[in-house]
Amino acid sequence: MFIFNYSTVIDPLLRDIRIYTPEFSGMKAGDRVLDVCCGTGDQVFHYAKRGIIATGIDLSASMIKLARRNKRKQGLRNVSFQIADALNLPFKDNFFDYASISFALHENERTVRDKIIYEMKRVVKKEGALIFMDFQVPLPKNPYLYLIKAIEFIAGRNHFRYFKDYIEQGGLDEILKKNQLPEAKKDYLNNGMLAIIKTRNI
């Protein structure tokens, strides 16, 4: 049921940021890009449609099964999906030009967030970039705020607890500062509710 809701409710809500991400990031055809915690693969498909060599990983076998099914439907050849743990990425050092993660850091506790970022930094080239999309903190007080809180609450007790901790920690700005990732570019979407940040991998 959750996968059905994710692909039919969440993916459409994120469509604009999915389309915008490769343009914002400066990705070009031929670049190797990893999407961490890729879910249904929606962001990966938007990369691939621009000629990017796109890889998606997720720990959920059911999500990867759905992503692979969608890949076959779309007939994309420059796409691959793997069941893999973001805490131990199955790729060699400095392999990708970019790595991205969208709306997954707030789903994990602080130590896990740091480990995910460490692995993303490891597999991206030193001259490459890491792209983060997540909720802006503090969350603007508008009607979207109640929708977001409702979705996070419905996702489960632990999920909601990690979401609240993400807000308390200060969101992406503080997380990236803690992990020594200098901000190169930043923008906001959906009435300021969502932030997208490009960082340099140093």
pLDDT score for 4:
42
The predicted pLDDT at position 173 comes to 97
**Complete domains list, the chain, with CATH:** 2-200 (3.40.50.150)
Backbone dihedral angles phi then psi of residue 118, each to the nearest 5 degrees: -60, -45
Q: Give the pLDDT confidence score for residue 9 in this predicted structure.
A: 46
Which pLDDT belongs to residue 79?
97
> What is the structure's pLDDT at 3?
45
* CA dihedral (178, 188, 191, 15) positive or negative: negative
Q: What is the pLDDT of residues 96-125, one digit of tens each?
A: 999 999 999 999 999 999 999 999 999 999
Secondary-structure breakdown of the chain: helix, strand, coil percentages, each rounded to the nearest 5: 45, 25, 30
For the chain, list residues with pLDDT below 50. 1-9
pLDDT the model gives residue 12: 58
* Whole-number Å distance between alpha carbons of 85 and 128: 22
Q: How far apart are CA 180 and CA 202, in angstroms?
A: 8
